[in-house]
Structure 1
Amino acid sequence: MAAKKNQKSPLSYWGVIAIIFTFFGWFIPTLGPMWIMIAAAVSVLYICFQMPLPCGAWNRDGKTRCRNNASGFLPGCHLEQHRWQTAKLMVASGGWTEIREKTMSSWKRMLPAIVAAATIVSGLAGAAQFVFAVLTT
């Protein structure tokens, strides 16, 4: 019996299309800012809740970080203690320092955080352009 290959499905990266659309949609003159806002919202939701990333939670030894696969930036891996650790840190006092350290722990977590921030800025720019267009008509 052959062993099952441990490969990620290409379908798990569907949100990359939304991310690319968010950034390069500005260069398509026929698109309106509403489509860029929608693509930015979908991109941020994809990065936060579905993008394949390493978990990044502290292991029990307190020195190393978890390298298990997680689905998204906010939820952790399959381990119960790692689930939603990042979301809990957002509410906890002093948790933002820990989130920054967790995000900067590897390029695999830092790159999606930067992309999420850039898509948020792009979505806000689209919203501002949409509001300006509505107010001037």
Structure 2
Amino acid sequence: MGRMKSRTKKALWRFWGYLILAVAGYLWLSGDLNFVLILGLSGLALLYMLFAAPMWCLAPNSTNGKPCSNNAYGLLIGCWIRKHKWEKIKMIFRRQRWAELGRRSFSTVGAQAAAIGAVGSFTSAIAAVITLIVKR
């Protein structure tokens, strides 16, 4: 019994950003809207998707040309290899590499979930900001 609780806690801790995004979605659908809370939760979920969501690195290896299969965190951070660590963030600032970044962001199930979650949380945050501005 104790072992099961430990696994559940680890899984919840590992995927906390998806839970926060689900809570923000629930708040949007409920009748009582607290836009400041929704904005905060959406911002946290976006940060999780960009920098903490578990996925594979997928940076090209110089030895065999295949994508790196080491564990990485977030859409913008690579694995523990120094060359791979900041490669995805560098891709944002080079317009020629945007297509490659997009392909990497949708190449695995974990990356797809994080990319869709990032778009959803960004959209939620923008909608909450617009609603707060209009209401004032």
Q: Report the TM-score when normalising by structure 1.
A: 0.84
Note if contact 2:54-2:110 (Cα within 8 Å) is conserved in structure 1.
no
Structure number with the higher helix fraction is 2
Alpha-carbon offset, residue 28 of structure 1? 2.3
- Percent of pairs identical after alignment? 26
Higher mean Cα deviation, 24-33 or 70-79? 24-33
Residue in structure 1 matched with residue 128 of structure 2 by the alignment: 126
Matched, 1:20 2:9: no
User: Equivalences for 1:1-137 in 2 at 5 Å?
Assistant: 9-10=10-11, 11-60=13-62, 61-62=64-65, 64-134=66-136
Q: Which runs of 5+ in 1 are unaligned?
A: 1-6
Alpha-carbon offset, residue 32 of structure 1? 1.1
Q: Report the TM-score when normalising by structure 2.
A: 0.84
**How large is the Cα RMSD of the aligned pairs?**
1.7
Taking the aligned partners of 1:121 and 1:17, their CA distance within structure 2 comes to 17
Alpha-carbon offset, residue 23 of structure 1? 1.4
Q: Which runs of 5+ in 2 are unaligned?
A: 1-6
Secondary structure of the 2:55 match is strand
Taking the aligned partners of 1:106 and 1:113, their CA distance within structure 2 comes to 10
Secondary structure of the 1:126 match is helix
Taking the aligned partners of 1:108 and 1:17, their CA distance within structure 2 comes to 15
Taking the aligned partners of 2:73 and 2:10, their CA distance within structure 1 comes to 13
Residue in structure 1 matched with residue 4 of structure 2 by the alignment: none
**Count of equivalent residues:** 127
Detail structure 1 runs of 4+ shifted over 6 Å in the superposition: none
Alpha-carbon offset, residue 90 of structure 1? 0.8
